[in-house]
Structure 1
Amino acid sequence: MTVLALLTALVLAAVGALHVVWMFSPWPLRTREEFASRVVGVPADRLPSPGLTAVPALLLALAAYLVVGRADLVAVPGPEWPAVVGTAGVAAVLLLRGVGGLVASAGKKTEFARLDLRIYSPLCIALSAATASVAFLA
């Protein structure tokens, strides 16, 4: 369980770090327009502000902390149940994002939909399964 928790937290933290980068840059793409189309699926003028982009970055960092906390790899203050409930909540949100992405992107021909079906949604579902395992089996 330790290895699963560490790997899961690492991926969550890495995705959170990407959101921090995206607050200031369209990396790894060249332009905001390309980034908006491929990564977010909106026109460039509808990209979230840096402040709004910080929200998922912070939530992903909290999710990573909850996962390693639930696996007793870092200290979590207070009783055990908030870490269990929090980690289970993370799993539920990731599952909703994954399944929702599969449903919303099905049949669409955009670059975002292609990436959502092949990468984003499956990653969310895999992270959900891993996080649920840590929540309930740790």
Structure 2
Amino acid sequence: EYEPGRRIVFEFSPEGGLSGTHGFELEALGPDRSRLTHFLTAETSRWMRPIVPILIGSHDAMLETAFDRAELEATGRLHRATRIPRWLRIANGIVVALGRALGKLPPSAGRPTDRPPLGYRMFRPARIVVPAALGAVAAIHAAWALGWRWPGGTDEALAERVVGAGAEFPPEPLVWAVAAGVGAAATVVAAVGAGRRERFLPAAAWCVAGLLIARGALSIPIDLISGLDSTYAQLDLALYSPLCIALGLGAAVVARGPRPSHKRQSEWSAATN
């Protein structure tokens, strides 16, 4: 809805997590006075409700900035500029940086525009490194199932390093199952990295990424709470969890694919020249 010089209404896109409308209305109060009003009628989806306080803070700051610009345009001066909270400036900077890195936003002015986005540059090494690393982990588990006991030399010493303090080394079928699962994950990521885009493959790659990141992220606080008294907790904090998170992020890069293309990058370059 748009009435020039009086009213404009925007409708939220449903997939954005909000449903409803918002807009601005200009009301004349006299020969040299007017009132600009913002109105909002919206409902949040269930998954957005936990971050509603953050959204409100961000919305209010952006709205006050819009009012500042309207005042400056109408009067030629600004009585008092809105001060954007530091947390919001930092959050906006992170969002913009991620958007530019992933190719969702054009490069900033003054920077070269012919360089592929970070997401594209990461895709090529990730599609090789992640499947190779997962394949190596699967091979190590298979070797354990066949009787190899490195590191440690015995079942007890190996369990202390890869399972936990006081735990027994898992039975052979379970170790084979882990090896098969990790091997399947490596195969999925390799297939997606090679350009296979059957309907289930990207979703499976995203699942691999999510499981790896969750495994690493959830284990770190557990290790810290335990006091790092065991060899396993120390190794997990220093090696296993960071490796899982790194491989998970790499799998996410592969699952996302090499987009955006150089075509979009060249379009931005042409637009800024």
TM-score, normalised with respect to structure 2: 0.46
CA distance, structure 1, for counterparts of residue 186 and residue 159 of structure 2: 26
Deviations 1:92-112 (A, max 9, x none): 110111012112211231110
Deviation at 1:15, TM superposition (A): 0.4
Q: Would you say 1:54 and 2:172 are equivalent positions?
A: no
Deviations 1:62-84 (A, max 9, x none): 111111111126xx5xx622110
Change (3 A) 1:25 1:42: farther
Q: 1:66 aligned to 163, 181, 188, which one?
A: 188
Structure 1: 5+ residue runs without aligned partners? Answer: none
Q: Give the equivalent residue in structure 2 for 1:117.
A: 237
The alignment of Structure 1 onto Structure 2 pairs a total of residues equal to 133
CA distance, structure 1, for counterparts of residue 124 and residue 187 of structure 2: 13
CA distance, structure 2, for counterparts of residue 25 and residue 94 of structure 1: 25
CA distance, structure 2, for counterparts of residue 54 and residue 17 of structure 1: 10
Q: 2:206 aligned to 67, 74, 88, which one?
A: 88
Q: Quick check: 46-55 or 124-133, which moved more?
A: 46-55
**Structure with greater contact order relative to length (CA < 8 Å, sep ≥ 6):** 1
CA distance, structure 1, for counterparts of residue 254 and residue 183 of structure 2: 16
Q: 1:6 aligned to 106, 128, 139, which one?
A: 128
Q: Give the equivalent residue in structure 1 for 2:254.
A: 134
Q: SS at 1:25's partner residue? A: coil
Q: Which runs of 4+ in 1 moved over 6 A?
A: none
Q: Give the equivalent residue in structure 2 for 1:34.
A: 157
Structure 2: 5+ residue runs without aligned partners? Answer: 1-122, 259-273
Letter in 2 for 1:88: W
| Higher CA-based Rg | 2
Bigger share in strand: 2
Q: 2:148 aligned to 25, 31, 35, which one?
A: 25
- Tell me the percent identity: 33
Q: Give the equivalent residue in structure 1 for 2:96.
A: none
Alignment of 1:91-102 (within 5 A): 91-102=209-220
The alignment yields a C-alpha RMSD, in angstroms, of 1.6
CA distance, structure 2, for counterparts of residue 25 and residue 97 of structure 1: 25
Deviation at 1:2, TM superposition (A): 3.2
Letter in 1 for 2:143: V
